[in-house]
Amino acid sequence: MKLVRYIHNSTERVGHLTSSNSIVDLSSEFNCYSMTEFISKQRHLCQKVCEYIKSTNDKIDISDVRILSPIKPRSLRDAYAFRQHVETSRRNRGLDMIEEFDNFPVYYYSNADAVTGPGDIEVDDVFMNKLDFELEVAVVISKEGKNIPCNEADDYIAGLMIMNDFSARDLQMQEMKLNLGPAKGKDFTTSLGPCLVTLDELTDNTTKSSEGNQYNLDMECFINNEKTSFDNLGNMSWTFAQIIERISMGTTIFPGDVIGSGTCATGCFLELNQKNNERWLKRGDRVELRVDNLDTLTNKIV
C-alpha cells in the first residue's frame, strides 16, 4: 500500500494512494483517523484492507484534498549511514574520515514537532544564510520493542518514505564545535512524504541479508528542475535493521517513531559545494526529491 495522511472536508484522514492518483479513504471503514493508529493495527487488518481497496469504487480525487506528511512522528531520529556522504563532506571541510564510523550506526534526535509534508515551506530569515536540502529515506516503526536483534528488526518497520532534512549549515557548523551534535541548525523543519510505502510494495527491490533488508531504490534531487543529486538506497553502509538494533539497545521504540537514513552521496549542497564555489537554497527554490517506488516529495521555499 501507499498510505497517505490528508485533510478532506476539514478532517484529518488516512488513505491509500492509487496508481491513478486518487485516494481510497481508510479512516471510516477501519475507524483509524491517525497514521500511527492505523499502522499499529495494519498488521492484523492487512488482508481486509487489501480486499477493501480492491473492491471499493469510492475514491477521492487527490486535487480535492491537502496532503500532509504521512505521519505526525512520535519521535524523530536521523542516522548517518552513507559512507560516501560522510567522507566527502568531511574532506570538503579539510577533515579526515572518522575511524569510528564502522564501529556502530550513530544517530541524533531532531524536532518531531517541526515536521511538514509536501508544499510550500516558510523558513525564518535566521535559517536562510546557508540553507541546505538533504536527500534521505526514512522508516516508520509499527510496533513497540526493546533490545531488538538485527535479524528481527525489519519486522518493526511499517514502511519507507522520502525525507528532506533541511539544514541551516552556518548555525550547524557553529554549534557542532561544542561536540553535542546538531541542534538549532536542524530543528526548524523536516519534510516527509508524500506517502508511506509498505514493505510488500518493495519486494522486487528488496534483498534480504543477515544484516537486514537492503533496498535497490534510486534516489534523485532536482532544484528548480536541475538535477543535482543521484545515489541508491542500497549504498547505505548500515541497514535500517542495524540502526534499529542500535536505537533499541536498552531503549523502547514505539509505533510512530521515525528514523531517517542520513543523507545519501551527493545528497546536499554541503557535500556538493567546493571551496569558493558555494551554493545554498534561496527563497522561491523548488526542491524535488524522487525515490523509486516512493514517489516525489516537492517543497518550495517561501
- Residues 257-291 as b/e (b if ≥16 CB within 10 A, e otherwise) read bbbbbbbbbbbbbbbbbeeeeeebbeeeeebbbbb
Q: Where are the alpha helices (DSSP H) in the chain?
A: 27-30, 35-55, 83-92, 150-153, 169-176, 240-247, 269-272
In the beta sheet, which residues pair with residue 205? none
pLDDT values of the chain reduced to their tens digit, one per residue, 302 residues: 999 999 999 999 999 999 888 999 999 999 999 999 999 988 788 889 999 999 999 999 999 999 999 999 999 999 999 998 888 877 777 778 888 898 999 999 999 999 999 999 999 999 999 999 999 999 999 999 999 999 999 999 999 999 999 999 999 989 988 888 899 999 999 999 999 999 999 999 999 999 999 999 999 999 999 999 999 999 999 999 999 999 999 999 999 999 999 999 999 999 998 766 789 999 999 999 999 999 999 999 99
* Cell 525564518, located at residue: 124
Q: What is the amino acid identity at position 32?
A: C
Tell me the pLDDT tens digit for each residue of 156-166: 999 999 999 99
pLDDT at site 45: 81
Residue 52, judged by CB atoms within 10 A of its CB (0-12, 13-18, 19+), counts as: middle
Tell me the pLDDT tens digit for each residue of 164-187: 999 999 999 899 888 888 999 999
pLDDT at site 80: 92
> Is the CB of residue 40 less than 8 Å from the CB of residue 143?
yes
pLDDT at site 276: 64
Torsion of CA 63, 64, 66, 71, to 10 degrees: -100
CA proximity to 241, closest of 214, 216, 262: 214
Handedness of CA 118, 119, 122, 127 (dihedral sign): positive
Cα dist from 60 to 21, 65, 87, 179, 196, whole Å: 9, 8, 46, 49, 18
pLDDT at site 275: 63
pLDDT at site 91: 79
pLDDT at site 94: 76
pLDDT at site 89: 76
